[in-house]
Chain A
Amino acid sequence: MRQTIRIALLVLALGLIAWGVFAERHAIRPLVAGETRLADGTTFTADASVDGYVRIRGELFDAYTPLTPGQVQLKDCKT
């Protein structure tokens, strides 16, 4: 029984990683007018490491959208 569970969990883990690389997609909108971009698993992980999104009304927005022309917000984890 454990042998089956081990194989199943390993397949699940590898499947999640593969899905993360090839199929995981999160729609990220800019805070101001602009095109929505899609973040895959690696992008989501990298953006999560800098608290990169803001959730508003169920949608994800790029927390680093420059809100003022000429402004650049430094990506930095708030921790």
Chain B
Amino acid sequence: MTLTTMPNLNDRDEIYARIIETHQGLTDAESQALNARLVLILVNHIGDEAVVAEALALARGDSG
């Protein structure tokens, strides 16, 4: 399995709005902590170290 980089969401505007809404009312530090927790939760859900490694590289800007 490799990282999915093609669009994969049915209602991307709704998901995006939900992410923003989850941060509502938080300080920057609280938001950063929330993002860290969210990354860990999603990484565990993915459960594939190779995929996570690809995602980390893409996020960091070392590939693609």
A, B bound = no
